[in-house]
Amino acid sequence: MQVVTRLPRSFALWLVGTASVLVASAPATATVMPRMSLRDLVGAAQRIFIGTAVSAESRWTEDGRFIVTDTVVRIDQALDGHAGVGTVVMRELGGSVEGIGMRVAGSTELPPGQQLLLFAQGAGAGRLRVVGMRQGAYLLTRDASGRRVAQRTLDGLTLSAPPPAATATTSAVRASTLATATSASGALLLDALVAQVRETVSACARTTDRCRPTWARPAATE
């Protein structure tokens, strides 16, 4: 099983979708990413929804250098104002093909049958990928009281402070932390998280930059 400890520049840019940020690898097989607030996740996402992973297939990229996994996800509930449900294809780094495996620390896993709350952005060819690697994916379960809860794991990620310009806020939207209403297990109560996501989506729609993180915007060209 091949373990990726450092990402080539070209593939790191595939991860973040911008030439202004380079994802590197930290010691102990951890991938370095800017820490993203809820505002950042909403601003960087093209779609935000609750969905269920249906099926997954790993394959080599066209150039034969990397393995990626395409997962079909059924949209159960849109949280971003998009109408309808349907399915999307999520592409994430890593997987296994004919006994050859590739793993990227911090890459999101979308196991078939699992329901998740996802912040997704374009990955090319009509596919999506999770924003901020594992930062943009919440596994949905029920706690001991039967309440729906959302929890994410940031294993494999080292989160760094975003560039100074990215910490600036607007009068309409604060760089909010995630919902604080939790269950006894420490997971976020799903209803509280959904309400905060929708509030942030609505607030970001009223800003000129749509809350897109400064460091994630395309570099200016002359």
pLDDT at 212: 86
The amino acid occupying position 75 is I
Q: How many domains does the chain have?
A: 1
In a domain, 221, yes or no: no
Q: What is the pLDDT of residue 164?
A: 57
User: Which tokens sit at 213?
Assistant: 């993180």
Element (H, E) at 14: helix 9-16
Alpha-carbon distances, residue 132 vs 14, 61, 88, 96 (angstroms): 12, 21, 18, 22
The confidence band for 184, taking pLDDT boundaries of 50, 70 and 90, is low
Q: Say if 165 falls within a structural domain.
A: no
Residue predicted with more confidence, 212 or 176: 212
Mean residue pLDDT across the chain: 80
For residue 98, tell me if it sits in a domain: yes
Whether residue 23 contacts residue 193, with contact meaning beta carbons closer than 8 Å, is answered with no
For CA atoms 32, 38, 41, 43, give the dihedral sign: negative
Confidence label for 12 from pLDDT (cuts 50, 70 and 90)? very low
45-80 pLDDT per residue, tens = 999 999 999 999 999 998 989 999 999 999 999 999
The confidence score (pLDDT) of residue 210 equals 82
Name the residue among 20, 5, 3 with its Cα closest to residue 166. Answer: 20
Measured in degrees and rounded to the nearest 5, phi and psi for residue 171 equal -70, -20
75 forms beta bridges with 51
State how far the Cα of 52 lies from the Cα of 34, in Å rounded to an integer: 27
CA distance 33 to 11: 14
First CA to last CA distance, the chain = 45
Question: Does residue 167 sit within a domain?
Answer: no
Residues 136 and 119: beta-carbon distance below 8 Å: yes
Q: Is pLDDT at 41 greater than 50 in this prediction?
A: yes
What is residue 138's three-state secondary structure? strand
Give CA–CA dist 154/76, Å, rounded.
Answer: 24
Question: Average pLDDT of 100-127?
Answer: 92
Has residue 163 been placed in a domain? no
In a domain, 220, yes or no: no
Q: Is residue 168 part of a domain?
A: no
Per the model's pLDDT, the better-predicted residue between 130 and 19 turns out to be: 130
28: domain CATH number is 2.40.50.120
Q: Is the pLDDT of residue 17 over 80?
A: no
Domain range enclosing 76 = 2-158+173-213
pLDDT at position 204, please?
A: 93
Cβ–Cβ < 8 Å for 21, 40: no
Q: What is the pLDDT of residue 81?
A: 83
Q: Which residue has the higher pLDDT, 124 or 112?
A: 112
Residue 174: per-residue pLDDT: 42
Would you say the pTM of this structure is higher than 0.85? no
Residue 137 is assigned to a structural domain of this protein: yes
Run of H or E including 15? helix 9-16
Phi and psi, residue 86, nearest 5° = 85, -160
Lowest model confidence (mean pLDDT) among 18-22, 48-52, 123-127, 164-168: 18-22
